[in-house]
Amino acid sequence: MRIEDELAEERELLSGENGSLKERAQVGNKKRKREVRSKLILLNSAIALIVIMSVLIFKVVSMNRDNGNRVRSASTTESDKSIQKKAKGEKKDGGAEATSTPLPTAVPASGKDRWLRKDLDKNKPMVALTFDDGPYTPVTDKILSVLKKHDQRATFFWVCNRIPRYKSSVKQAYEQGCQIASHTFEHVILTKLKKKKGILAQIDKANREVNKVIGCDTTALRPPGGVVNGKVKKTVKVPMICWNVDSEDWKSRNTKKILQRCKSVSDGDIILMHDLYPTTAKAVEKLVPQLKKKGFQMVTIDELFYYKGIDLKPGKVYFSGK
Ligand SMILES: [Zn+2]
């Protein structure tokens, strides 16, 4: 029975004029019971409150203790670390210096040294792929990517008035260690120039363009048409490099025919191609892995003559490294 109902019943009993003594006693008992119940409820509430407070206090205290431990353990770890560091430092001081000093990084070759590697195997067959008349980025870059993929080098005899237009390919070739060589400034047949001054102008202007991009002069010249005379020989101050294998890529513009022309390549050969034709790039894509499989190292002109022990002389014409 709810307290409200009991009270209502009590009021009813007390208000009754005819309420007997028994009834009054009943009311008294109920009143006492109610008081006891109320006290019990209060006591329970107080106990519950104490329990909740205790739990809260315990939690706060334990959290603080944890934090304290964490801080303490962290500081311990730090100090441990510093001790360990100190110990290591002592070991280092007493041990090898190499562990504390960074290893020296290899300085990449610059200028013309870039296209003359000194760590090749001279006993392995070598062949020099050479490309004339470029640069022409759509084809030159394809050839460069094939060379890069197979870690091989080539020499580019460029018509140097084209360099400003295709500068990115020139930089890329240089980065890859390919040899940048001259095919004059405007592809002039040097024997047609009557004055020495005219020949020199073609060579100097070409070098100026190369120098602007890679910071050094060329070390080889391929005379356009492969034509030279006494005057040209006397005037030119670098070796003149011709070829002994003609791919005739400009004539056939046919990948199969280009590959056919290069089928019997042998040690010391210089192959003539042109980085102007997409068919040439396609042929190179097949030729490079084929030659590699046969054990050839594809080298630059400077490398070929260096390893074949041939001392290149200014103004002299060379056809192969044999
Ligand atoms: Zn040419």
Residues 98-135 have pLDDT tens digits of 445 555 566 678 889 999 999 999 999 999 999 999 99
Residue 274 is a catalytic residue: yes
User: Measured in angstroms, how far is the CA atom of residue 274 from the centroid of ligand 1?
Assistant: 8
CATH architecture designation of domain 112-318: Alpha-Beta Barrel (3.20)
Span of 55-59, 134-138, 247-251 with lowest mean pLDDT: 55-59
- Whether this prediction's pTM lies above 0.95 is answered by no
Alpha carbon separation from 68 to 64, 77, 108, 237 (Å, rounded): 6, 14, 56, 82
**In this predicted model, which residue has the larger pLDDT, 151 or 91?**
151
- DSSP H helix total and E strand total for the chain: 10, 8
CA of 223 to the centre of ligand 1 (A): 8
Please tell me the distance between residue 261's alpha carbon and the centre of ligand 1 in angstroms. Answer: 18
10 Å CB burial of residue 267 (0-12, 13-18, 19+) is middle
Q: Is the pLDDT of residue 67 over 50?
A: no
Catalytic option among 132, 133, 141, 275: 132
* Cα 249 to Cα 195: distance, rounded to the nearest angstrom: 33
27 Cα–ligand 1 center, Å? 130
Domain ranges of the chain: 3-94, 112-318
User: What digits encode the pLDDT tens for the residues 178-219?
Assistant: 999 999 999 999 999 999 999 999 999 999 999 999 999 999
Query: How far, in Å, is the centroid of ligand 1 from the Cα of 122?
Result: 30
- Which one from 183, 274, 275, 302 is the annotated catalytic residue? 274
